Structure 1
């Protein structure tokens, strides 16, 4: 999720235009898309993905200003050209290769009330109960485009979706301390959620085995790194990105977010192929991690 209270630094569609040459899907990604879309021809599948990508790159937030003596509202649309859309990351099936993925699927099989909160569903295809899943993203349009990408409908894939900004207090009320005790109330009906606040304590019940897992850009040493931003075929702009190291990431979860000794943190640091977004030292790292209740 992305905090929209600030500005994207130099990230706009003019400087980061869509580029068909970036369409480089793995065999697993192609097989997954063919299975769920029913499209068998490679060229037809590529065209389908490109059309959805182009529409996703136009998604924005409507803002406006209303005045009492004006008969209409002026509406502005601010478009968010997410790099993950430009680089076709929405087609990747990397979650299935996460080292904790098998552990996660077992939770869905063994605990009938386990809730999976997805922030961006491949997992349903691999057996996690879809009635226990809830997805979240900034705009409902992204979820609708997901249905279009996989040629599904809310009826054929009835997973609950709750649009909103994870940094908005009205969407997810924060607290000083994490939840350690089991909630007094039963889990809410996922289909009726208007925010994520009613889920507090439910997706991560204080039961052994409950988990959080993910992957993101990282570094071998904690600190701020300069990342070039593509400007067409050039990389003349730079943004600064704070990166954790595996060691500081483990300390963050085991001792700061949760009481030390109450969770097990596993981390793998993987070096990615050099790309246009690689930092000046020409090494790009991704941290793959999981946090499991003990």
Structure 2
């Protein structure tokens, strides 16, 4: 069972508020911190369970600029190229891209639901003047011909040059990961790049009969995100999976990506806790289960896949 959602906001450092201050123009960090805490309470107050990164308010700071490909991306912002973020959540990284000068009409923000996006409008205090980007809330892997949004179909058909998926693959089932990568490959322009980060696992030991991806947690067909009312359907539960570097590389190559780079990050526990917050009993149990069942360690995979 998932750990209960915490009742109090996590500690919010001054550095966590830097981008929020830049976007809103509010310089008083005490005011911003109180606002961010109230927004966090609104989030946890309308859901039975929140993804861990959301519980820890990691959405306050943009992360996209940490990727080497971001400099390449910004260098192309005046060339009419298109950018898409999958799993945009609060829209923090989308706002970072806008703030760095990427034309808003060439940006598409995608998520399975708009609930986090609406919370982002409150957090960034721009509900009356939201970022003028394209948005699509739903399953991006569905056939776009079924969409009632011709602007989205036009955007995707034109080809997207940069796609960012910062925390998506590890919340999907095995079939879901394949479907997502297949869809993103299809909408990439020739030479385009998909980049991001995913929770993953280490390579199995030599001689092991374990073949990643390995099951991790359970994911249901009903979206596990803030909702004003409980789900009315009975979800079908299937396991989320975690890839290792070689299994993700094989999958991406089999789909058609011409160049695939996957880098393993084994972040020291003390560093991870400083960034993400104290490790919970739930996470400790998951790490132990991965080691005992499959002989692998949980870690992070940074990826860059070019068409």
Shorter-chain TM-score: which interval? 0.5 to 0.7
- How much does 1:140 deviate? 2.6
Deviations 1:186-205, CA, capped at 9 Å, x for gaps: xxxxxx93785552462244
- How much does 1:102 deviate? 1.2
Say which of 10, 29, 34 aligns to 1:47: 34
Secondary structure of the residue that 1:285 maps to in structure 2?
strand
Distance 1:33 1:270 in 2: 28
- How much does 1:267 deviate? 2.0
Secondary structure of the residue that 1:34 maps to in structure 2?
helix
Distance 1:80 1:173 in 2: 33
Question: Does the CA-based 8 Å contact 1:59-1:80 persist in structure 2?
Answer: no
Higher-helix-fraction structure: 2
Q: Which residue of 2 aligns with 1:291?
A: 305
Alignment pair present for 1:11 and 2:9? no
Question: Does the CA-based 8 Å contact 1:57-1:85 persist in structure 2?
Answer: no
Say which of 71, 74, 82 aligns to 1:105: 74
Q: How does 1:3-152 map to 2 (within 5 A)?
A: 10-11=1-2, 15-20=4-9, 22-25=10-13, 27=15, 29-59=16-46, 81-109=50-78, 111-112=79-80, 114-119=81-86, 120=88, 121=94, 122-152=96-126
Alignment pair present for 1:242 and 2:198? no
Question: Does the CA-based 8 Å contact 2:35-2:123 persist in structure 1?
Answer: yes
Secondary structure of the residue that 1:142 maps to in structure 2?
helix
Greater RCO between the two (CA within 8 Å, min separation 6)? 2
Structural RMSD (CA): 3.2
Secondary structure of the residue that 1:207 maps to in structure 2?
strand
Question: Does the CA-based 8 Å contact 1:266-1:289 persist in structure 2?
Answer: yes
Question: Does the CA-based 8 Å contact 1:37-1:149 persist in structure 2?
Answer: no
Unmatched 5+ residue regions in structure 2?
A: 89-93, 161-186, 204-211, 218-237, 274-278
Question: Does the CA-based 8 Å contact 1:58-1:81 persist in structure 2?
Answer: no
TM-score by length of 1: 0.65
Distance 2:18 2:121 in 1: 17
Q: Which residue of 2 aligns with 1:264?
A: 259
Unmatched 5+ residue regions in structure 1?
A: 1-9, 61-78, 175-191, 228-238
Question: Does the CA-based 8 Å contact 2:17-2:33 persist in structure 1?
Answer: no
Question: Does the CA-based 8 Å contact 2:213-2:247 persist in structure 1?
Answer: no
Question: Does the CA-based 8 Å contact 2:197-2:303 persist in structure 1?
Answer: yes
Secondary structure of the residue that 2:76 maps to in structure 1?
helix
Secondary structure of the residue that 1:54 maps to in structure 2?
helix
CA gap of 1:80–1:16, structure 2 versus 1, over 3 A, is closer
- How much does 1:213 deviate? 0.9
Question: Does the CA-based 8 Å contact 1:269-1:287 persist in structure 2?
Answer: yes
Q: State how many pairs are aligned.
A: 226
TM-score by length of 2: 0.63
- How much does 1:59 deviate? 4.5
